Amino acid sequence: MDTESAVPPPHADEPEADPLTERRWQAVVRRDPQADGEFVYAVRTTGVYCHPSCPSRAAKRENVAFFDTATLAAAAGYRPCQRCRPDAPSLQQRRHALVRQACEAIEHGPATPTLAQLARQAGMSPYHFQRIFKAVTGLSPKAYHQALQAKRVTSALQSAPSVTAAIYDAGFNSTGRFYENAPALLGMAPGRYRQGGAGEHIRYAVERCTLGWIVVAATRKGICAIEFGDEPQALADRVRARFPQAAFEPADDAFRRWVVRVLRHIEQPRGVLDLPLDVQGTVLQHRVWQALQAIPAGQTVSYGELAERLGQPKAHRAVAHACAVNPVAVAIPCHRAVRADGSLAGYRWGLERKAELLKREAAASLLKEPSADAVIDGKPSKRHRRTR
């Protein structure tokens, strides 16, 4: 780190550090590369500002100031460190830019690019590029394209002359592939969705929780949707846009009790969230969802093991897909499915939420006696893991 002109020390009456400042300081102590691009820190005794991951000798806490951007640090009179170059785009920022370019190619290209083509455009190997893409978006490029198709087909079903026309307008190569995924994507048969959910009676509620906002929706048969989000109005709009012709009924006492149970389970996940569900999917998807419900809270299982225990050891991709299209978060705990090495894979409501749910379940499980191995389709699981 440069050691030229100094910036005056802080005033003695500077206020206590707030939680954000403390988190930033801990990122500096860890030299956390994931924090690069989120803020910079400056050292008053040297007049230099750095990335959180800067390998230079650690500064004393009382000599450090934090800035949201390099521009603000420069405006305050600090110079960029010549070692970590915080005035240049960070590795994280460069990766985000590459992923944005790939998303634009998937969304607007004349033909869907392959993983190899996207990786070549980014100047990386397919394996490395896919890891970065999933780290940024929470999805693989293929899953991102499938989500985009689902969004397009929901729009096309409202205006195309037929269901078949809507399927091809949305970019599906075959009707068979679409119908395999349609129940979970649409929540009902395509024909019924095309009618805007006519004949359905739906109640829903949007509530704040410690993981953001959540919407709970139910038909007269049971809960049909539980989703996390960051904007309450967007969640409400999503439910109404999904079923524009449905009859939306006021929440009754029974539905309110369901919502309260969902919220309590999110905050203090103990036992099974046993609620009536009204979800549609393929036979395999329902088997996967039932298997997920059999995994004890506080434990995880790999996609491959789920496939093996279902008697279809080569179906690990289909198992992962069933987790990805799960319409009811926490009621069907798809967050308990992980990679073979125990690391977290994509979660469409965000990996941070997935990690926090597992953390809460692990903490709650310590308050109880260890449970026996879970049983999946009548067979004991070989490798349930305690989350840490």
Active-site residue list: 50, 334
Q: What long-range pairs does 129-136 form, CB within 8 A, spacing at least 24?
A: 129/98, 129/102, 132/95, 132/98, 132/99, 133/99, 133/102, 134/345, 134/346, 135/95, 136/95, 136/96, 136/99
Q: How many CB atoms lie within 10 A of CB 246?
A: 21
Give the residues across from 213 on adjacent strands: 208, 229
Contact 125, 116 (CB under 8 A): no
Q: Strands 247-248, 223-229: parallel, antiparallel or unpaired by DSSP? A: unpaired
SS3 readout for 70-89: HHHHHHCCCEECCCCCCCCC
Q: Which helix (H) or strand (E) holds 259?
A: helix 253-267
Spell out the residues 6+ positions from residue 354 whose beta carbon is closer than 8 angstroms to its own: 335, 344, 347
Residue in this structure with the two tokens 């780290």, named with its chain if needed: 135
Looking at residue 105, the DSSP 8-state letter turns out to be: H
Q: Strands 223-229, 212-218: parallel, antiparallel or unpaired by DSSP? A: antiparallel
Rounded distance, CA 140 to CA 338, Å? 15
Structural tokens at position 179: 């119908």
**Alpha-carbon distance values, 285 to 187, 191, 218, 322 (Å):** 13, 21, 20, 5
